[in-house]
Amino acid sequence: MAESVRARVLAVWRRVLSLSWPIMAEQTLRTLMRTTDIVVTGLFSPAAVAAIGLADLFARLPLRIGLGLGSGAIALSSQDTGASKTRRVSDDEGVGDAESDATANRNEAITQAIVIGILAGVPFVLFGLFAGEAAIAALGAPPDVAEMGGTYLAVIFVTAPARHVALIAARSLQGTGDTRTPMYVNVVSNLFNILGTVALGLGVGPVPRLEILGVGIATAFGNLLTAVALLAAIRGPWAAASFARPTDPTIAKQLLEVSAPRIAEGLAATVAEFPFNAILLAFGTEVNAAYQIGRRMHQQVTSPLSRGYHVAASVIVGQSLGEGHPDRARFEGWASSALGLVTVGTIGILLFFGAEWFVRLFTDDPATLEYAADFARVYGLVSPFLVLYVVLSGALQGGSDTRTPFVARTTGMFGFMVGFSWLFGVYLGFGVEGVYAGIFLYFVWALLVVAAGFRWGGWAGKAAAMMEERGSVEEAS
């Protein structure tokens, strides 16, 4: 029996790694692209760095919406892919019709998600063109920073619909089990983005020096290239997914039902960053800078793995539910979490003991260095809790449950990361140690909520009911 469980766990680990390594590679290069933007912008002036940083606060909004709609797309895509596979190997219960229904529903869900994403991007185009500079000025930026930030925001927001399409199309393909096509596309587009940032920003060779405008153009071109290439991949013969005429309001309703909590979760996390950064600034700019360094360092070494496992867990759980195996889906969710714990948890331990050495790569200021090492140690300690939360959230997403992760993250951020940190750190005078405790408790709380939801929640039944409602599987007799 023990050998059987071990064999099943290893089989899940092999599949998760097969699905997740392209996502890890893609995320690593995406992070490098963002780092290049900051490095190049830093060569212009401190004001330019501030401008792109403030503009990025608004640029996160279409990112959150695109990721949220992508959650709905990957949930429905993976479930209907699993349902389609089941019908292909069944010869005795209307194979052709059932397979056609599941595949058609998947293709329509992908199409509807992309159409919704395009429409949702239009307001950002208008915002960037007519209100970007004013919005950045409203944050307290001086006129020159607001002008540069507004220019950058206008350029990248013009391609907000394309950014939505890129995120949704990638998640749609991943839901079918194809994580390599999005990787190929994103690797190429990110490389073009990096080269464009350097060439247009600094004016390399015959290319004009456009500074922050050039950085924005490179980002916008990357967004557009990714969207067009992924649309071509879905339209072409080599992808499992395809497009279909949007006609079923049930599919649209389910997409929004799954996506809305994920969008709200991302927006709430963005909002929570403002008071939390204000708390950090109450202890001095060195503490705030130290937090940014410690968190960025942790994200650099753990986020690609965590995000890869998150998507892989969504895919395998959703496909198992589509195939009609809820018990297997539950086992795969726990097994995926164990893989995350072994790998990311180990990295967290290394980060904890090597924190001071790592942060010296980012700063040599003594005061900042001390606090940055402490923040890095805190994130090293919470790595096991964080990765378990991320992977189980992905598993729940595969079962169409995005509300539980929303509750976990929102209550954790406002209750512990913001509320506890302010109460004990500022009001009761425990200082930065109160903030360390608030961060730690946030991730512990978030894990407890999603683990309880995965263990006792009705996500498997909900997914089955939604598949029946949209006609991907036959109704239970």
Contacts of 8 (CB under 8 A, 6+ apart): 331, 335
Give the DSSP letter string of 18-52. HHHHHHHHHHHHHHHHHHHHHHHHHTT-HHHHHHH
Widest CA span in the chain: 72
- pTM, 2 dp: 0.88
The C-alpha atoms of residue 129 and residue 316 are separated, in whole angstroms, by 41
- % pLDDT > 70, the chain: 95
Q: Is the pLDDT of residue 363 over 70?
A: no
Q: Specify whether the CB–CB gap between 214 and 200 falls below 8 A.
A: yes
Cα torsion angle, 82, 85, 86, 92, sign: positive
Q: Is the pLDDT of residue 218 over 70?
A: yes
Q: Averaged over 435-458, what is the pLDDT?
A: 97
Q: How many residues does the chain have?
A: 477
The C-alpha atoms of residue 234 and residue 279 are separated, in whole angstroms, by 46
- pLDDT score of 39: 79
- pLDDT score of 30: 84
**Collapsing DSSP states into helix, strand and coil, what is residue 362?**
coil
- pLDDT score of 290: 80
Q: Averaged over 253-266, what is the pLDDT?
A: 94
The C-alpha atoms of residue 171 and residue 26 are separated, in whole angstroms, by 13
Distances (CA, A) of 218 to 127, 213, 222, 322, 456: 20, 9, 6, 40, 47
- pLDDT score of 40: 87
Give the DSSP letter string of 291-359. HHHHHHHHHHHHHHHHHHHHHHHHHHHHHHHHTT-HHHHHHHHHHHHHHHHHHHHHHHHHHHHTHHHHH
- pLDDT score of 99: 47
What token pair was written down for 245?
Answer: 């005429």
**Collapsing DSSP states into helix, strand and coil, what is residue 472?**
coil
Q: Is the pLDDT of residue 89 over 70?
A: no
Q: Is the pLDDT of residue 195 over 80?
A: yes
Q: Is the pLDDT of residue 225 over 90?
A: yes
- pLDDT score of 98: 44
More confident residue, 369 or 212: 212
* CB crowding 255-276: b at 16 or more within 10 Å, else e: bbbbbbbbbbbbbbbeebeebb
Q: Specify whether the CB–CB gap between 425 and 279 falls below 8 A.
A: yes
Q: Is the pLDDT of residue 94 over 60?
A: no
Q: Is the pLDDT of residue 456 over 60?
A: yes
What token pair was written down for 457?
Answer: 């929640």
The C-alpha atoms of residue 60 and residue 63 are separated, in whole angstroms, by 5
Q: Is the pLDDT of residue 91 over 60?
A: no
Q: Is the pLDDT of residue 163 over 50?
A: yes
Distances (CA, A) of 277 to 203, 271, 292, 417: 35, 11, 10, 11
What single-letter DSSP state applies at residue 422?
A: I
The C-alpha atoms of residue 82 and residue 99 are separated, in whole angstroms, by 10
Count how many Cα atoms sit within 13 Å of the Cα of residue 171 in the half-sphere of its side chain. Answer: 34
- pLDDT score of 327: 95
Which among 201, 196, 190 has a CA at the least distance from the CA of 34?
Answer: 190
Q: Is the pLDDT of residue 146 over 70?
A: yes
- pLDDT score of 88: 53
- pLDDT score of 400: 93
Q: Averaged over 70-99, what is the pLDDT?
A: 72
Which among 417, 371, 431 has a CA at the least distance from the CA of 277?
Answer: 417
Q: pLDDT per residue over 422-434, tens digit each? A: 999 999 999 999 9
Q: pLDDT per residue over 197-209, tens digit each? A: 999 999 998 889 9
What token pair was written down for 214?
Answer: 């050039």
Q: pLDDT per residue over 106-116, tens digit each? A: 999 999 999 99
SS3 content of the chain, % helix, strand, coil (to 5): 85, 0, 15
Least confident range from 56-65, 155-164, 256-265: namely 56-65
Binning pLDDT at 50, 70 and 90, where does residue 473 land? confident
Q: pLDDT per residue over 11-52, tens digit each? A: 999 999 999 999 999 888 887 887 788 778 888 887 887 888
Q: Specify whether the CB–CB gap between 395 and 457 falls below 8 A.
A: no
Average pLDDT of the chain is: 89
Q: pLDDT per residue over 229-246, tens digit each? A: 999 999 988 888 889 988
The C-alpha atoms of residue 388 and residue 395 are separated, in whole angstroms, by 10
Q: Specify whether the CB–CB gap between 338 and 9 falls below 8 A.
A: yes
